[in-house]
Amino acid sequence: MRVATDGELLARGAHLFAGYWHNDEATATTIDSDGWLHTGDLATIDDDGYVTITGRKKDIIITAGGKNIAPANLENELRQSRWISHAIMLGDRRPYRSPSSPSTRTRSSPGPPRTPSPPTFPPSPPTPTSGP
């Protein structure tokens, strides 16, 4: 992985897809001539190799059905929960959209991470004991 001069995260390797099925034009706009996949994410890579996603090159996801969706609305709604500190929406060129939570090493904004309270559960029922 590396970051392009415009800040876009690029990836290359055998684990990535080879291109769009019967769509050389779409493949050429996503994978450059050197084999780098342009993710559409803006990112930084620190000295230890950790990637931090800082934003998107475009703020619209286009589903396979052609619907344009602004992911920020759903992501911001999810982050209102005390249990969710970071959220991203996946779904570009897919017939569905899917919220996801990135790893704890991925930070979208500066500041201390949220520390949610542990969940509370109802007390367990008493364990039956045998007679005297």
**Average pLDDT of the residues in 2-9:** 93
Amino acid 60: pLDDT: 77
Amino acid 69: pLDDT: 76
22-73 pLDDT, tens digit per residue, is: 999 989 989 999 999 999 888 999 999 999 988 888 777 776 666 777 787 7
Q: What residue ranges define each of the domains in the chain, with the CATH number in brackets?
A: 1-57 (2.30.38.10), 59-103 (no CATH)
Q: Whole-angstrom Cα distance, residue 89 to residue 102?
A: 10
Q: Whole-angstrom Cα distance, residue 122 to residue 115?
A: 22
Amino acid 78: pLDDT: 87
Q: Whole-angstrom Cα distance, residue 129 to residue 132?
A: 9
60-99 pLDDT, tens digit per residue, is: 777 666 677 778 778 888 888 889 888 877 765 555 555 5
